[in-house]
Structure 1
Amino acid sequence: MKQRFELARTRLRRVQSPGWRPKAPSGTNVSAESRMQELQLRPYHDLSGAIFRAEAGWSIPAGYDSLDAEVRAIRTRAGMIDLSDRAKIELAGSERVPFLDGLVTTDLKIIGPGMSTYALLLNEKSRVLGDLRVYALADSLVLDIEASQKDSIVRLLEKARVSDDVEFRDLGLCGHIEVHGPSAGEAVSAIVGTDVRSLSDNAFLTFSVDRHHDGRAMRLRAFGEDGYAIWSAGASLAEAWEALVRRDVTPIGRDAAEVLRIESSVPRFGADMGEDTLALEVAPESAISYTKGCYVGQETVARGTYVGQVRRKLLGLRIEGDMPPVRGDPVSRGEQKVGAVTSAAWSPAVGWVIALALLRVDAVSPTDALFVDRGGWSLRARLHPLPFVRPGA
């Protein structure tokens, strides 16, 4: 293992050198390849046998060996995911909190330094424009954003800024590793030198990565299991990755992460929610404050909450057979269309196909036989309580 890590470090130094560009494999489109961004930990993923795919302009690990084994690792021990393609945007200035508080669905006024919150961005009709996590530091806020949403969210922020004393700064490449599973806390505590298991959910601490970089370690439950996000602006977190491998933490690809997400019924922007969905139809309960006051889309959210005008909800389906439907596949009850699938996958944890679907709540019940049209194939389905998999399953 020592020799493999030394090889990865050598390749990492080459990747980080000025002017380095990935060499395009034979037969690939050179111009397209040159536009694809590589994760700084690419050499470590290569050594673990990763298979890569393109997503939002990045080359990311789709998987390593067995999807089932990767899912099982997080459900039974610990697994780690390289999310260093996520963008980090810093907001500074005396009006940073009221400015952002008027745009997001959670109450930023009640979180202090060392806390974070997950929130949505809405339009005036409460349709979902994006989602992000906000970290509160002593003198700034840091927005943690999926790579695919970075440009649209930055444009939204720029458009909303008029005379507010707010400055935006892209923090550039940031190492970002998430560790999930029953033994994640023990592994991460050893890496950061502090027992992170004492953190409450969404709280974070600051630790020293090296002489030049500080890092943040935040507790979260993205997949139902205990989980931690570790990130650092300007650092690759290569030493942290090596240390986690030594502690037998399994590398997890994005395909397994997607299965884990669906098992845990966590909605994703671009799949389960977007400009065609209302916040109340899809948002996790913790993502919306009902007491904070005005923000974009708040009036529609309040009306839907207190008057009860939400006709669709994101619900779970258990589907017979081994063929997962795809986003947009119609769901019907008899001859009546009642909604559509938003995400689906074969679940190794439960042993059948599961799906999230946006359905009319007045048209379905747990006893109904439902059908999903998968390209002409009729897949039998029934409602299933969410989440599909609970911690420790």
Structure 2
Amino acid sequence: WRMPAHYGDAGSEYGAALRGAVMRDVSHWTRLSLTGADHLDFLHRTTTNDVVHLGPGEGCPAVFADNRGRIVELVDLLRATESTTLVVASPPARERLPAWIDRFLFVEKIEVEDLTGTTAMVEIWGPGAAAPIRATLGVDTDAVENFHLLSAAGAGGPWVIRSDRHHGCAGVRLVGEPAAIAQQWQALLQRGVAPLGEEAAEMLRVEAGVPAFEFELNDKHNPWEAGLEDAIHMDKGCYIGQEVIARLDTYGKVKQRLVGLRVQDGPPPVRGAAVMAGDRQVGEVTSATLSTRLESVVALAYLRKTHCAPGTHLVISSSSAESTDIAAEVIELPVTAGA
């Protein structure tokens, strides 16, 4: 998939997300359909959240974890109908996640269908999004909880799902046949909703502190470190990685956290740059972008818990002999104007 970097002006798109309404084509994200008599029980046994008690139209975030409690994939689950659960995951999961699921299938009655190539997906959000969403889609974003279904034309969609996952602002996710989604896109355009490209989307993601797969979400880290508490149900019983994940919380063994850094000067640091406290490395940069709101670079980094307090002053180690180290300060996320 090649997604547009921008639709003419990334800065204007960024501003529209802060002050109006935007929509982003996320058709490159993975969409799987799980059906079969055993599929809910299987998801319950292989992910971190309470899936088996979801009713039709209800959803939740969840993590597929390995036996070390490390992240395999963060997913959004929606029990779209009595017999169908929609799984939305990162773009790289399209090949990896079905293979992971297949590893743990034995005699269960489950069918996994890849919907990524036969459907489209769009997310709409922003402080001014409620009115065009209501006028175009006929739904109220506050009518249901996050990840729940707002409306659906049938078992195959199009589905309108409340989604705050990637931007921290009430919005919806549309999933359905590409021609139908294209019609909704045009209707939303006519109501003043601005298209959002990948450049502005990445700026907003880092400012919001939302972890992304391969950058912050990978098998080097567990869900607690990545701030995925809403995807973990502590009383659901056994699942892959459950003992480790529970022990990390019970005994206070989580050693690092994903935090925001405000970088004082210079260009965005490279991914993997060491974060130092004196002569000791206490973390590593995972993402960085120029924040228009702060008029400085903002980065995400995993830091040792002892250095995660907002206001902590640190140094990002330079990646070359020609440049100097960069001063940085731990900040609260999401970024707000004047922070």
Out of 305, 323, 328, the position equivalent to 1:381 is: 328
| Code of the aligned partner of 2:186 | E
Checking the alignment, whether the CA contact within 8 Å between 1:127 and 1:278 is kept in structure 2 is: yes
Residue correspondence of structure 1 range 85-234 to structure 2 within 5 A: 85-137=28-80, 138-171=82-115, 172-208=117-153, 214-221=157-164, 222-233=166-177
Distance 1:235 1:104, change over 3 A: farther
Q: Distance in 2 between matches of 1:367 and 1:223?
A: 24
Aligned alpha-carbon RMSD (Å): 2.1
Q: Distance in 1 between matches of 2:134 and 2:86?
A: 23
Residue correspondence of structure 1 range 170-319 to structure 2 within 5 A: 170-171=114-115, 172-208=117-153, 214-221=157-164, 222-233=166-177, 235=179, 237-319=181-263
| Code of the aligned partner of 1:120 | V
Q: In the alignment, which residue of structure 1 is the partner of 2:268? A: 324
- Over residues 262-308 of structure 1, what are the superposed CA-to-partner deviations in whole Å (9 max), with x where a residue is unaligned? 11111111001201112221132211111111111110011100101
Please, which runs of 5 or more residues in structure 2 have no aligned partner? none
Checking the alignment, whether the CA contact within 8 Å between 1:127 and 1:276 is kept in structure 2 is: yes
Checking the alignment, whether the CA contact within 8 Å between 1:174 and 1:236 is kept in structure 2 is: no
Q: Distance in 2 between matches of 1:374 and 1:240?
A: 47
SS at match of 1:302: helix
SS at match of 1:161: coil
| Code of the aligned partner of 1:87 | T
Compute the TM-score of the two structures, normalised by the length of structure 1.
0.80
Distance 1:302 1:334, change over 3 A: same
- Over residues 6-53 of structure 1, what are the superposed CA-to-partner deviations in whole Å (9 max), with x where a residue is unaligned? xxxxxxxxxxxxxxxxxxxxxxxxxxxxxxxxxxxxxxxxxxxxxxxx
SS at match of 2:192: coil
Higher helix share: 1
Q: Distance in 1 between matches of 2:312 and 2:142?
A: 43
Residue identity over aligned pairs, in percent, reads 30
Q: Distance in 2 between matches of 1:173 and 1:336?
A: 50
- Over residues 114-140 of structure 1, what are the superposed CA-to-partner deviations in whole Å (9 max), with x where a residue is unaligned? 112111111000111111111102211
SS at match of 2:46: coil
Q: In the alignment, which residue of structure 1 is the partner of 2:3? A: 60
| Code of the aligned partner of 1:273 | L
Higher RCO (CA 8 Å, separation ≥ 6 residues): 2
Compute the TM-score of the two structures, normalised by the length of structure 2.
0.92
- Over residues 144-165 of structure 1, what are the superposed CA-to-partner deviations in whole Å (9 max), with x where a residue is unaligned? 1222111110100111111111
Deviating more after overlay: 251-260 vs 187-196: 187-196
| Code of the aligned partner of 1:243 | A
SS at match of 1:124: coil
Checking the alignment, whether the CA contact within 8 Å between 1:75 and 1:225 is kept in structure 2 is: no
Distance 1:367 1:139, change over 3 A: closer
Q: Distance in 2 between matches of 1:201 and 1:364?
A: 28
SS at match of 1:374: coil
| Code of the aligned partner of 1:246 | Q
**Is 1:356 paired with 2:300?**
yes
Please, which runs of 5 or more residues in structure 1 have no aligned partner? 1-57
Q: Distance in 2 between matches of 1:155 and 1:231?
A: 23
Shift of 1:67: 2.1
Shift of 1:365: 4.5
- Over residues 82-141 of structure 1, what are the superposed CA-to-partner deviations in whole Å (9 max), with x where a residue is unaligned? 011222211111111110111111111232111121111110001111111111022111
Shift of 1:194: 3.4
Distance 1:318 1:93, change over 3 A: same
